[in-house]
Amino acid sequence: MKLFSIKALAGAALAVGMMVQGAAAQEMQFFRIGTGGTAGTYYPIGGLIANAISSPPGSRSCEDGGSCGVAGLIATAVASNGSVGNVNSINGGTLEAGFSQSDVAYWAQTGTGLWEGQPKVEKLRLIANLYPESIHLVARKDAGIASVADLKGKKVSLDEPGSGTLVDAKIILEAFGLSESDISAEYLKPDQAADRMRDGAMDAFFFVGGYPAGAIAELASQHDVVMVPIAGPEVDKLRQDYSFFATDSFPAGTYKGQDADVATISVGAQLVTSADLSDDLIYGITKSLFNETTQKLFANGHAKGKFITLDNAVQGAGIPFHAGAEKFYKEAGKLQ
């Protein structure tokens, strides 16, 4: 037992010594990424990103089949309460980066929407737009709702107070010349709104999230509902005013009874950071996200991973890119 302990201690000492030598050469650095709850999408995607950008001292090179991350970087995905908490933690310096919806990032950086009356997070910067979170407008098939304008006089749930969906829904209504006073507005979570629709007490509701959404798929399997398009010149103008929105669509067959593609808009799930982090570090991280090896890792690692592409990375930005990320995208020909 003593011999084993001595060997173990010697091995540990050697490992520490090698790490110290490696750290001296590569300058070991830790990088915390705020995600969301462990049952959501942000957390597993955050884990994939943390693995992709890490390259601990002593790791094999990318060319030799090892890590393709930033030399010396050790990134970790941290479970959190999501977008708002991540932005606040980045601002407070307890996270180096985090996930945020593009609209939340915009409101934080500009002091509007959910951040109205609070100090702006002026140093919040974008590393990459990752994947879309689509805006669903779900209506009863017999409610006679074929466009956003048809919501006038209808019972519509805009989601609960304090939610990003509520702010997005108000923006969309305004783009089509409507306000809350023009509809019979309710403020329910999507699953509660779906229950009301089952009972015939709700005409339509808004939901923001990836598709197919479980609650909506279940509703569509039991009742006749339609996905209402969010499109047209009103949306073109809306996107000029609010750059965090991107065009999107629900492919035919996404939900039962949906026989054709339905146009909509989306907000992005984004990886954000602080302007205080070095340009070289964020340049290296951004470059690591979009090499061939990492792209395969994303595509095979999660259903949303296939959306994390170089083309999508610069869509629906909303807030300024970090200078290091901007440098990479310009070199890649994706930004002017």
pLDDT one digit per residue (tens) for the chain, 336 residues? 333 343 443 444 444 444 444 444 567 999 999 998 776 788 999 999 999 999 999 888 888 888 899 999 999 999 988 888 999 999 999 999 999 999 999 999 999 988 999 999 999 999 999 998 899 999 999 999 999 999 999 999 999 887 778 989 999 999 999 999 999 999 998 889 999 999 999 999 999 888 888 889 999 999 999 999 999 999 999 999 998 898 899 999 999 999 999 999 999 999 999 999 999 999 999 999 999 999 999 999 988 899 999 999 998 888 999 999 999 999 999 999
CATH code at 133-267: 3.40.190.10
Alpha helices in the chain (DSSP H): 2-26, 42-53, 83-92, 102-110, 164-175, 190-198, 214-222, 233-241, 279-289, 292-301, 310-313, 323-331
Rounded CA separation 262/134 (Å): 11
Q: Are 44 and 57 in contact, with CB atoms under 8 Å apart?
A: no
pLDDT score at 39: 65
pLDDT score at 107: 94
pLDDT score at 71: 94
pLDDT score at 210: 80
Rounded CA separation 10/230 (Å): 65
Q: Domain 2-131+270-331 has what CATH class? A: alpha beta
The distance of Cα 137 from the centroid of its chain, to the nearest Å, equals: 19
Domain residue ranges of the chain, discontinuous segments joined by +: 2-131+270-331, 133-267
* CATH fold match for the domains 2-131+270-331 and 133-267: yes
Tokens of 206: 């808004």
Q: Which residue has the tokens 């609209």?
A: 103
Question: At 143, is the secondary structure helix, strand, or coil?
Answer: helix
Give the type of residue at 240. Q
Cα torsion 56, 60, 61, 67: sign: negative
Tokens of 254: 């996404």
Q: How many CB atoms lie within 10 A of CB 280?
A: 11
DSSP lists the bridge partners of residue 87 as none
